[in-house]
Structure 1
């Protein structure tokens, strides 16, 4: 019974590591991904050796498979909580909402506004880039002011320049300066 629980525990560690390693690799963080791969490999070999050497191999194999499935859910949950990376939102509005635009900018979001032509009238499009950890907050802010807004969210692979990067560099310098004045 101890072996069966150990197999389940190992899968609940192994599969989330596998999920995170894959995500870090896709996001270009290959050093972290390779470090996780070492841990993942050790856990995989250890867990599989227990499964293949145990007397109750059918039960061990089932627990191994179930642990894998639960581990996928756990890995996805951890990834959502970490919210690594950035998200880009395109928001289509029926009218130019200056109040919303100003509010979003005051909240630290970079907003670019475009005017376009819809089927029946002019439309306005807001383009925003933010950290994934703030995506839900941003969508709620938009929905409060513009319940009929059409919102598209996607993850950009690469970007360069712009308001967000300048703001992040300013904040980083500000934090470094604050730390140096405290010591």
Structure 2
């Protein structure tokens, strides 16, 4: 029974590492992916070795499978909380909304705007690239100002230059100071 517990625990460690390693590979973080891969390999060998050492022990097999499933859930949860990388968000709104655009910029979002042609009339488009951990915040702000907005987001593979690297950090710090003094 102790072996089954060890196998289950190993899977709880192994599978979230597998998830994070895969994400690091996709995001071109080779060094981090390699480090996670080494730890993942050690845990995998131990867990599989215990299972294969006694194929008549169904508790070990069940612990492996249950640990794998629970590990997937934990890995997805951890990845969601870490929100590694960036997201590009497009908000299609009925009319120009300077108050919304100003507010988004004040809280540190880079926003580009454009007039676009809809089916029957002109609409207004907001474009933003931000860290993934701020995506929900962007959606909340849009919802507060424009309930009928169509908002879509996607992860860019890479980008170069622009406002994102330095400007977002400075504006967010400025906005926090402004809030604290109010």
| Same-fold call, TM cutoff 0.5 | yes
The answer to whether the 8 A contact 2:108-2:168 is kept is no
Q: Determine if the alignment matches structure 1 residue 80 to structure 2 residue 77.
A: no
Question: Secondary structure, in 3 states, of the residue corresponding to 1:163?
Answer: coil
The 1-side partners of 2:55 and 2:158 are apart by 51
Q: Corresponding residue for 1:123? A: 123
Q: Corresponding residue for 1:57? A: 57
The 1-side partners of 2:92 and 2:98 are apart by 14
Q: Corresponding residue for 1:181? A: none
The more displaced of 160-169 and 35-44 is 160-169
The 2-side partners of 1:146 and 1:132 are apart by 21
Q: TM-score normalised to the size of structure 1?
A: 0.89
Q: Corresponding residue for 1:110? A: 110
In the alignment, structure 1 segments of 5+ residues that lack a partner are 175-183
Q: Which has the higher helix share?
A: 1
Question: Secondary structure, in 3 states, of the residue corresponding to 1:75?
Answer: helix
Q: Corresponding residue for 1:177? A: none
Question: Secondary structure, in 3 states, of the residue corresponding to 1:162?
Answer: coil
Q: Deviation of residue 168 (structure 1)?
A: 5.5
The 2-side partners of 1:125 and 1:168 are apart by 20
Q: TM-score normalised to the size of structure 2?
A: 0.90
The 1-side partners of 2:42 and 2:56 are apart by 23
Structure 1 residues 83-162: aligned runs within 5 Å: 83-162=83-162
Q: Corresponding residue for 2:11? A: 11
Question: Secondary structure, in 3 states, of the residue corresponding to 1:12?
Answer: helix
Count how many residue pairs are aligned between Structure 1 and Structure 2. 172
The 2-side partners of 1:156 and 1:170 are apart by 23
